[in-house]
């Protein structure tokens, strides 16, 4: 498929009327308009699904949530004797095997909307010190990740999390993942309204209903009323964007966003959802998707975005309204983002006399020791710790008289506020050496690139967004970064074999300029990655017009020009 054809598919196409499979995979009454790809697929039955999809089989053989009851027995076994199926079941509790697979695990702890109490955050630091080698990662989905846990630790870890109201349940697996939102919900002076009640209701429901731990694949929901739309609504499966209509608070609704190897931007459903309908609408969308067995045949085509591809937003809306038994109100005006999405620096809260301060976390790394000290500082003035999707943390509820003291103390802990902005808005996934999917370094490579750009360009690169991923899963959002790098391999000589390399993506972005980037420089050897990015940035800074973004610069350049600049073949700017 050409890139132009793929972009047309991303942006949507005309759909034709047809039926959707109901419970058990059998056709129900006509409900959704279907595109050609869906129309050519016969509705399967469970026998065919179980024949083709090994994950669906393992869920039938033993439901993944039951693995928690077997932890003590599994801890006594030789690690190599534990079945691969049970290793997969651990994912439902937020656990992935660390690389190499020798008995250590990554644990992903959920923080809905990134909101944590000081005690909760301290507990994560303590667990890191006890079991995780004094290391944590902040993720782009507002989670905290620990590494180097062993099965014998799991029960203590889960009991400790339970004691402070935290969970890793649904952190991975075929479930509703951490529900993201604005990290300063309820505090930000510019937010349209406080939507934490709706977010908490949705979180609680999907954590408590077993059926929603048996989805076709992972599912990502975001709910926010942030004026800046800081929660990346373009790349989530179900999106509630705060807005007002007729003097009422509510949400616009989008569906079908997501990245990985087949990226899609979420598509507007054209409806206004009143606040109380966030949960019923979420449930209806999930029910339409999870009960259509077409999306259980192949793991590669199991995400909600493929259902939206097949049926279009209009068809999905028809089916959702049938589930609800009523029509949703048409949306009169699509809400537009305004303001900064990063929440970095010092900001007045809507609560008089209180402030929040967003601190950049270089590469998303926070040690367990630092975590404990940050939490204790927040507790000293009665504040919270909030996590942003840019892998940063925010301290909230700071009395005006203590703002500078807090800034100084956080700098002493290791997170100065006055650093180059590129450090707070560029992200890297876990990558090598800990992630089994990664084929390249990410955080170390990102650090190398940023330090090189800072050395040459200083604060001129403060607004540049880099995203470095070790594999196509796109946890660091390389598709929608100013400059995205995805790890791959290049062919070496007979002695070296395959070499670490990167695909370089350009023209991507979120917000009003949302667009899926394109891989223009292919298989760039790892040792040349930093120089390649430097050449692109040098050309941008030399040729940009007033107020021009990097994305706009890349879009006005031809593919050939960008390749020539990045590879060093152009004479535009000498590095």
Three-state DSSP at 493 gives coil
Q: How far apart are alpha carbons 529 and 428 in whole angstroms?
A: 14
Strand bridging mode 115-117 / 16-21 = unpaired
Phi-psi group of 511: left, alpha or beta (phi > 0 → left; psi -120 to 50 → alpha; rest → beta): left
Q: Distance from first CA to last CA of the chain, Å, rounded? A: 35
Structure-token match 């807005």, residue found? 243
Q: Would you give per-residue pLDDT tens digits along the chain (575 residues)?
A: 333 333 333 333 322 223 333 333 333 333 444 445 564 567 899 999 999 999 999 999 999 999 999 999 999 999 999 999 999 999 999 999 999 999 999 999 999 999 999 999 999 999 999 999 999 999 999 999 999 999 999 999 999 999 999 999 999 999 999 999 999 999 999 999 999 999 999 999 999 999 999 999 999 999 999 999 999 999 999 999 999 999 999 999 999 999 999 999 999 999 999 999 999 999 999 999 999 999 999 999 999 999 999 999 999 999 999 999 999 999 999 999 999 999 999 999 999 999 999 999 999 999 999 999 999 999 999 999 999 999 999 999 999 999 999 999 999 999 999 999 999 999 999 999 999 999 999 999 999 999 999 999 999 999 999 999 999 999 999 999 999 999 999 987 777 778 999 999 999 999 999 999 999 999 999 999 999 999 999 999 999 999 999 999 999 999 999 999 999 998 644 44
**Could you tell me the two tokens for 70?**
């077997």
> Cα separation of 316 and 312, whole Å?
6
pLDDT at residue 22 in the model: 35
Distance CA 122, CA 374 (A): 8
Ordered by where they begin, the domains of the chain are 3-43+191-330 (3.30.413.10), 424-567 (3.30.413.10)
pTM metric for this prediction: 0.92
User: Rounded to whole angstroms, how far apart are CA atoms 463 and 445?
Assistant: 19
92 within 8 A of 64, measured Cβ to Cβ: yes
Q: Report DSSP state, residue 281.
A: H
Q: Which of 529, 479, 488, 545 is nearest to 506 (CA)?
A: 479
* pLDDT for the residue numbered 491: 85
Of 125, 123, 121, 130, the C-alpha closest to 152 is 130
Are 58 and 66 a contacting pair, CB within 8 Å? no
**Residues facing residue 250 across a β-bridge:** 243, 274
What own/partner pairs with CB < 8 Å and gap ≥ 24 does 398-401 have?
A: 398/354, 398/355, 398/356, 398/357, 399/353, 399/354, 399/355, 400/353, 400/354, 400/355
441 DSSP 8-state letter: B
Token pair for residue 371? Answer: 């975590």
């Amino acid at each position: 498929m050409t890139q132009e054809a793929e972009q047309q598919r991303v942006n949507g196409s005309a759909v034709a009327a047809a039926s959707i499979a109901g419970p058990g995979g059998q056709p129900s009454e006509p409900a959704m308009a279907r595109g050609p790809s869906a129309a050519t697929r016969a509705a399967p039955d469970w026998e065919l699904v179980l024949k083709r999809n090994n994950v669906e089989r393992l869920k039938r053989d033993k439901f993944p949530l039951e693995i928690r009851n077997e932890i003590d027995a599994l801890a006594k076994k030789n690690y190599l004797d534990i079945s691969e199926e049970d290793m997969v079941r651990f994912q439902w509790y937020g656990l992935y095997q660390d690389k190499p697979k020798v008995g250590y695990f990554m644990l992903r702890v959920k923080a809905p909307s990134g909101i944590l109490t000081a005690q909760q955050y301290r507990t994560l630091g303590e667990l890191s010190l006890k079991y995780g080698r004094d290391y944590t990662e902040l993720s782009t989905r507002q989670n905290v990740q620990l590494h180097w846990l062993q099965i014998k630790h799991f029960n203590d870890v889960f009991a400790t999390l339970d004691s402070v109201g935290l969970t890793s349940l649904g952190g991975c697996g075929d479930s509703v993942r951490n529900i993201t939102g604005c990290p300063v919900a309820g505090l930000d002076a510019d937010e349209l309204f406080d939507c934490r009640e709706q977010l908490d209701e949705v979180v609680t429901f999907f954590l408590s209903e077993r059926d929603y731990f048996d989805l076709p694949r992972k599912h990502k929901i975001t709910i926010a009323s942030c004026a800046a739309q800081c929660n990346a609504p373009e790349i989530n499966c179900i999106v509630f964007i705060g807005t007002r209509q007729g003097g009422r608070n509510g949400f616009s609704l989008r569906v079908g966003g997501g990245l990985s190897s087949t990226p899609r931007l979420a598509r507007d459903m054209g409806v206004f959802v009143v606040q109380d309908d966030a949960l019923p609408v979420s449930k209806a969308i999930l029910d339409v998707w999870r009960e259509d067995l077409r999306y259980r045949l192949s793991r590669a085509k199991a995400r909600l975005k493929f259902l939206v591809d097949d049926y279009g937003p209009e068809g999905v809306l028809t089916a959702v309204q049938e589930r609800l038994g009523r029509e949703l109100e048409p949306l009169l005006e699509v809400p537009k983002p305004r303001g900064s999405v990063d929440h970095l620096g010092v900001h007045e809260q809507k609560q008089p006399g209180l402030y929040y301060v967003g601190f950049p976390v270089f590469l998303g790394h926070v040690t367990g020791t630092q975590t404990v000290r940050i939490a204790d500082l927040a507790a000293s003035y009665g504040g919270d710790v909030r996590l942003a999707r840019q892998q940063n943390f925010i301290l909230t509820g700071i009395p005006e008289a203590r703002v500078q003291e807090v800034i100084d103390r956080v700098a002493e802990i290791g997170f100065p506020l006055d650093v180059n902005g590129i450090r707070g808005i560029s992200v890297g996934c876990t990558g090598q050496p800990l992630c089994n999917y990664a084929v390249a370094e990410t955080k170390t490579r990102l650090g190398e690139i940023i330090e090189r750009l800072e050395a040459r360009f200083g604060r001129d690169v403060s607004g540049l967004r880099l995203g470095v991923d070790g594999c196509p899963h796109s946890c660091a959002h390389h598709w929608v970064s100013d400059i995205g790098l995805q790890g791959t391999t290049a062919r070496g000589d007979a002695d070296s074999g395959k070499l670490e390399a990167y695909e370089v993506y350009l023209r991507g972005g979120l917000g009003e300029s949302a667009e899926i980037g394109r891989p223009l420089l292919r298989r760039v050897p790892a040792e040349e990655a930093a120089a390649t990015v430097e050449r692109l940035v040098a050309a941008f800074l030399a040729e940009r017009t007033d107020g021009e973004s990097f994305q706009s610069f890349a879009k006005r350049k031809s593919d050939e020009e960008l390749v020539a600049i990045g590879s060093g073949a152009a004479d535009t700017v000498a590095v």
